[in-house]
A and B are shown apart, each in its own frame.
Chain A
């Protein structure tokens, strides 16, 4: 019944809004504007960001991985600025580490790198009380240090012992890899490189070519094709965490 009236009121409000918008930036005070208008010209458009169509993953062929070789560990440390002199050697950050496995009956030894497995269902994210531990749309599990309070609950929850805590102040970080005292950290799949279309440092550095990195969702990628063709294992597959990192030969 009141429809005509309502309409006219709505059109008045609409017209008023157009009038305000038409005025453009209204300075309420120096630097405080009613309508924010950027005056800068960004040199290039920002990247699109992580897409849920992608699932980054890694395939590690342990039959190629040489015992005693730690090139991937060193490359990771250099790339991510893990270079601090430790007050206590037990407190060093391990984003990636080498593990030697021995079959006690057969005496067969082999070696493999172990790092964050980038679970699709990450326990570290489940337990984080602040939401600092999170999974990006493209499957990379990260710690947002801006919200991490250093409680280390995620370190307890991780079945792979993949996370470390920074115990001392740092000064020599790489500009692209911020890290510091009081936060938990772990392998990021070199997210700053991946976002630029590059591969993680460990993958590029491996002299044996034992590591393959790529998009598990892309059927044409090397990693997806190999996983479809060859047998591979998830460590502690019984936990049903749907890992991004898979191993061969274990």
Chain B
């Protein structure tokens, strides 16, 4: 019993200490809205739910071929890409600055093109 009490006290101490440590360690994200205007949903909803929106949309597009839905990664980029780098990644990039703060590993851009306005290359004789 005494052992359990001691363990509980120790656990509580860790809980109390942990937030202080993390706040001191990480720099606040820089969020620059490059194209001010209306997003597809209010900011607080986007902050909390954008990953769910994108995940469900991606499965419908990939698996069922449904295109042109409300949520779209390419539309995120078109609005939020930095005007200086043209990208949502990199230091201070719209996606990357928050994800670095939240310690979320961004894998979208391993495959998806993170730069806005990148022209689809046209092959000879192929209509765009």
Contacts and interface: CB of A to CB of B under 8 A. Distances in A.
A179 B42 CA distance: 31
A50 B68 contact: no
Contact of A31 (B45, B74, B122, B124): B45
B112 A74 contact: no
A201 B58 contact: no
Contacts of B12: none
A50 B126 contact: no
In the complex, which of the residues B41, B46, B68, B123 has the most CB atoms of chain A within 10 Å of its own CB atom? Answer: B123
Interface stretch (B18-26, B27-35, B59-67, B91-99): B59-67
A45 interface: yes
B51 to A, nearest CB: 12
A11 interface: no
Interface stretch (A36-44, A92-100, A108-116, A217-225): A36-44
B85 interface: no
Main DSSP-derived SS at the B contact region: loop
A159 interface: no
A128 to B, nearest CB: 14
Nearest to B66: A49
B64 A50 contact: yes
B120 interface: yes
Given A46-B67, A49-B64, A183-B111, A32 B48 contact: yes
A224 B55 CA distance: 37
A243 B44 CA distance: 49
B126 A146 contact: no
B41 A42 contact: no
Contacts of A14: none
Interface stretch (A1-9, A16-24, A118-126, A130-138): A130-138
Query: Which are the 8 A-B pairs with shortest beta-carbon distances?
Result: A180-B111, A50-B65, A78-B123, A31-B44, A31-B48, A75-B123, A49-B66, A40-B40
20 contacts: A30-B44, A31-B47, A40-B41, A40-B70, A44-B68, A47-B68, A49-B66, A74-B123, A75-B123, A75-B125, A75-B126, A78-B123, A79-B121, A134-B63, A146-B58, A174-B120, A175-B77, A176-B74, A204-B127, A205-B124
Given A48-B66, A137-B64, 7 more contacts: A40-B70, A46-B67, A47-B65, A146-B62, A172-B113, A175-B112, A205-B124
